[in-house]
Structure 1
Amino acid sequence: MHVGARPAVAPGRLFIGGRWEPAAAEAVRELVDPATGQMAATVAEAGACDAGRAAAVALKAFEEGPWPRMSPRERGRILMRAAELLRQHAEEFALLESFNVGKPITLTRRVDIPMAIETFEYYGNLAAGIEGAVRTPAAPSLAYTRREPIGVIAAITPFNFPLVLSSKKIAAALSAGNTVVHKPAAETPLTALRLAEVLQEAGLPDGAYNVVTGDAEAGQALVCDPRIAKVAFTGSTVVGKRIVALGAETLTRVTLELGGKSANLVFADADLDAAVPTAVKAFTFNTGQFCMAGSRLLVERPVYEEVLERLSAACAQIKVGDPLSAETMVGPLAGPAHQAKVISFLERARREGIDVTSAKCPDGPGFYVAPAVLTGVEQQSVYVQEEIFGPVLTVQPFDTEDEAVRMANGTPYGLAAGLQTRDVSRAHRVAARLDAGTVWVNTWAAMDISMPIGGYKQSGYGRENGPEGLDEYLQTKSVIVAL
């Protein structure tokens, strides 16, 4: 049973042009509470025609509405107002996100909601700095550049961090003067719908932000719609490749944050009192539903056995359970299909004779999977090469720094990596050699809105966060005036 009350969730509608509307076919989707497996809410199920309607409204708002024509400072003030409203409703959003995804309430209060607030504040402040530059050409002329919005942005976001990952796209896109059609994950749209109300209250003009809830049909319709100027997508590599192929038909711009299989390197000189808890956090954070999860632990052989013993002891202390309990460290996975996928990996590993050590899982309903540690795995095995997206850790020994780097880089992915060492020279040397968009040293999942994130290799391209994240939503025009 849940500890505490569920947040009130009204039957959903699509948010298009500043109004709440039913889907054209009046289709609905029932959402399930991950902690109980019971039906929790009903939202509208958008189809292709609904996505097209939202794209048309967003294009009209871009071409005729006030948002792109406001000064950057004006846009910034509205985004700052949205951040303040999020802060005022922080507890409501924390409960809604916990209920939406199955996240521990301690995590949504401490991480998800503060990060969303910081994102709107950051891009609200950054808006005032959107400006071009004067150049000095050889011919007598006045030459300058303008940084302008791109147009209508389709923001397609995943189920694991609904509000955080949506905010990164929405705040940056709006800061630059674009309009947005947001298609949140079908399973977790609740905070996106509530965010629409917040942005409207903050003063965002009608049509500048639109929400269509639904499955892949709505998302594909947006990708293929010629009125969409750019698609910003976070999700699986398989779907990301499909988006690139579909968007090529209309030369739609695309940025992608895709899958990961991040390696965490523990050298023999590391402080194991800190390194082992860091390793546990790296693979259990958000129940392992984290594209930057440290799902591969590479340990220098002299300390390999000790690290395994410490890991086993630490995992035994992990509290898996009700997201609304303050004691819970790991909550349920977001849905039954995902739970079945993760369990199938573990069952296959056991059949293949791989040593699987699991924490204790609660009895009863809900989509729970206990954190598990796999040893005796080969570098080319599916457990090392494929993203499981659950609280599953593989542990492998290494003998040399070169071997550790080869193993760390030896997957198709390159989203994040980390290393644990007391040697400062090694820290910088190895960080430079790791194929990853983010490298953490003696920590994991240390995030800041000012620091860009994004992938190498099949983990995608483009960046979010920082001024680099704003650049993704701007285009440059050159103006040359003969004198």
Structure 2
Amino acid sequence: MSSQETVSANEGTAVLDVDRRLLIDGKLVTTEQTFASINPATGEILGYAPNAGVAEAEAAIAAARKAFDTTSWATDVEFRIKCLDQLHQAMLDNLEEFRALTIAEVGATYLNTQGNQLEAPIGIIRYYADLLRTYPLTEQLGEVDIKGQKHNRWIEKEAAGVVSAIIAYNYPNQLAFAKLIPSLAAGCTIVLKGAPDTPLITLALGELIANHTDIPAGVVNVLSSSDVETGKIMTTHPDVDVVTFTGSTPVGASIMAAASASLKKVFLELGGKSALIVLEDADFGTVAQFAAFSICSNTGQGCALTTRLLVPRAHHDEIVAKVAGMMAHVPVGDPTNPKIYMGPLISEKQRDKVDGLVQRAVEAGATLVTGGTRIDPGYFYTPTLLANVHPDSEIAQEEVFGPVLAVIPFDDDDHAVEIANNSKYGLSGGVLGADDDRAIAIGRRIRTGTFSVNGGNYFTPDVPFGGYKQSGIGREMGTAGLEEFLQTKAFATVVK
């Protein structure tokens, strides 16, 4: 199927239970006010979510504070492991319900739910439950002689406290698990707020926790809200110890500023404008397939996707033609269809933003090779390729969050590195070439937190994920992801 063909988004749609509730202090509750969640493949209302306000946010924070201060959650490692094991099994048992809801609310394709949208993130739960079984929460430093007395020293890792976690819409399961699971493993309590565009899937997680695990009341609280004041309370409340946010860089900066008044621990996963460097000895057919399908993954709504394609100037036109040809074969349409690779953008607002960036890029001198058109109904946008892009232009500098690939020519390895680093972001990147050693050497010069060499996949639960510069602060997943939610306490006693 070509990218110009679509399958009706009404075919094969599962019947969903979308009557979702907030989880506050162990109780599933609703609110008088609600807001709509839209199916991006049809533009129709999927369901309604409770619109938590300041009162609900304060109640959730109070519940989390009480659970942290008065229960054994923070100190009972074995019980935490048991609860994580229960949650892992509950996700496996309810996989198809979560798949249908993720497809309907996120616009994720069935194919994508088999990977990073759903099935792969469930592995995060398994990873941290197992890590907690072996992670050293105590470290002996041994004895030291100070002024004629021996002193024994050791370090203990303990839970950081109450966590406020705010996630984005593009991968709601992945983002929720990457914050929720390591915080629980560390012994923290948490208030988790889903994105306004995808509230139902996060609320479903809260209901699963309430109904299928022994996690005590108040340890996990789950909110949905379209009220900005709710988010403000979560990032400024004096009873919150840690704030973690995934979303845009401007919002992340404002959250960091707000949290600074009480010196909260903050870590942020923000935007990206990653570069994929193609060396002259690469297989251009492989390059075309990799680049075209990567930018169309999750409809380009991924902060770590390589959205700039850096190519040798002498091979610019050849590579552009191959990528354009491959884009024509990306199946676009009904995300419930297992044969479809790319679904819709999340909203009409996002589609307008993407289209505006494309149109301005053409006005600024870029060549529109293919794409750049809307597909209705729903919020579909054709895979788009822009050639002859200037490295300083808006389309080369600003995060698009859509299926738009900008091709930029370079002269030599040094020039490619210079262009790749010419960004306020530093989240990811990649190199494709015949010589791994040369590719790795180039990768080491790129200022990013993750990097792929010849298609290598770093995105697994045991690998820390995060960026340099304005792509964020801190790391999610891996041992580093657990340690974001821990404090280090040093002890010493006099040896008698």
Normalization by structure 2: what TM-score?
0.94
- CA shift, 1:282, in A, is 2.4
In the alignment, what sits opposite 1:49? 55
Stretch of structure 1 that moved more, 139-148 or 451-460: 139-148
Shift in CA distance, 191/288, structure 1 to aligned 2, threshold 3 Å: same
Secondary structure in structure 1 of the residue aligned to 2:465? coil
Shift in CA distance, 413/85, structure 1 to aligned 2, threshold 3 Å: same
Stretch of structure 1 that moved more, 338-347 or 398-407: 338-347
Instruction: Describe the superposition over 1:452-478 as per-residue Cα deviations: whole angstroms up to 9, x where unpaired.
Output: 110101101100111011010000111
In the alignment, what sits opposite 2:42? 36
8 Å CA contact 2:293–2:327 kept in 1: the answer is: no
8 Å CA contact 2:464–2:475 kept in 1: the answer is: yes
Shift in CA distance, 197/219, structure 1 to aligned 2, threshold 3 Å: same
In the alignment, what sits opposite 1:211? 222
Rounded to whole Å, the distance in 2 between the matches of 1:444 and 1:384 is 24
Rounded to whole Å, the distance in 1 between the matches of 2:469 and 2:245 is 16
In the alignment, what sits opposite 2:288? 276
Secondary structure in structure 2 of the residue aligned to 1:393? strand
Secondary structure in structure 2 of the residue aligned to 1:53? helix
- CA shift, 1:69, in A, is 2.8
Shift in CA distance, 401/363, structure 1 to aligned 2, threshold 3 Å: closer
In the alignment, what sits opposite 1:187? 197
Matched, 1:388 2:400: yes
1:153 aligned residue (142, 156, 163): 163
Rounded to whole Å, the distance in 1 between the matches of 2:116 and 2:397 is 29
- CA shift, 1:363, in A, is 4.5
Matched, 1:75 2:87: no
Shift in CA distance, 247/475, structure 1 to aligned 2, threshold 3 Å: same
Rounded to whole Å, the distance in 2 between the matches of 1:221 and 1:375 is 45
Q: Which amino acid counterpart does residue 48 of structure 2 have in structure 1?
A: T
Shift in CA distance, 363/389, structure 1 to aligned 2, threshold 3 Å: closer
- CA shift, 1:202, in A, is 2.1
- CA shift, 1:130, in A, is 4.0
- CA shift, 1:376, in A, is 2.1
Instruction: Describe the superposition over 1:63-104 as per-residue Cα deviations: whole angstroms up to 9, x where unpaired.
Output: 01231131x232122112211211121121111111111011
Rounded to whole Å, the distance in 2 between the matches of 1:229 and 1:116 is 26
2:17 aligned residue (6, 9, 14): 9
User: Which 5+ residue runs of structure 2 have no aligned equivalent?
Assistant: 1-7
1:313 aligned residue (304, 308, 325): 325
1:112 aligned residue (107, 113, 117): 117
RMSD of the TM alignment (CA)?
A: 1.5
Secondary structure in structure 2 of the residue aligned to 1:438? coil
Matched, 1:326 2:338: yes
1:138 aligned residue (131, 136, 145): 145
Instruction: Describe the superposition over 1:138-174 as per-residue Cα deviations: whole angstroms up to 9, x where unpaired.
Output: 2312321110001111110000000011101100000
- CA shift, 1:285, in A, is 1.0
Rounded to whole Å, the distance in 2 between the matches of 1:90 and 1:202 is 16
- CA shift, 1:195, in A, is 1.2
In the alignment, what sits opposite 1:61? 67
Instruction: Describe the superposition over 1:278-335 as per-residue Cα deviations: whole angstroms up to 9, x where unpaired.
Output: 1112211110000001100000123322211111110111111111112211100011
Shift in CA distance, 440/119, structure 1 to aligned 2, threshold 3 Å: same
Rounded to whole Å, the distance in 1 between the matches of 2:396 and 2:456 is 19
1:303 aligned residue (307, 315, 318): 315
Rounded to whole Å, the distance in 1 between the matches of 2:451 and 2:86 is 33
1:96 aligned residue (93, 98, 101): 101
- CA shift, 1:217, in A, is 2.0
Normalization by structure 1: what TM-score?
0.96
Q: Which amino acid counterpart does residue 36 of structure 1 have in structure 2?
A: T
- CA shift, 1:50, in A, is 1.3
Stretch of structure 1 that moved more, 469-478 or 267-276: 267-276
Q: Which amino acid counterpart does residue 83 of structure 2 have in structure 1?
A: I
The count of aligned residue pairs is 480
Shift in CA distance, 477/469, structure 1 to aligned 2, threshold 3 Å: same
8 Å CA contact 2:16–2:100 kept in 1: the answer is: no
Instruction: Describe the superposition over 1:39-83 as per-residue Cα deviations: whole angstroms up to 9, x where unpaired.
Output: 11011011122111100010000001231131x232122112211
- Give % identity: 34
Secondary structure in structure 2 of the residue aligned to 1:394? strand
8 Å CA contact 2:293–2:330 kept in 1: the answer is: no
- CA shift, 1:237, in A, is 0.4
2:26 aligned residue (18, 23, 30): 18
Rounded to whole Å, the distance in 1 between the matches of 2:480 and 2:391 is 34
- CA shift, 1:344, in A, is 1.1
- CA shift, 1:194, in A, is 1.5
User: Which 5+ residue runs of structure 1 have no aligned equivalent?
Assistant: none
- CA shift, 1:360, in A, is 8.8
Q: Which amino acid counterpart does residue 138 of structure 1 have in structure 2?
A: D
Rounded to whole Å, the distance in 1 between the matches of 2:58 and 2:94 is 32
Secondary structure in structure 2 of the residue aligned to 1:278? helix
- CA shift, 1:359, in A, is 4.0
Q: Which amino acid counterpart does residue 402 of structure 2 have in structure 1?
A: G
- CA shift, 1:199, in A, is 2.2
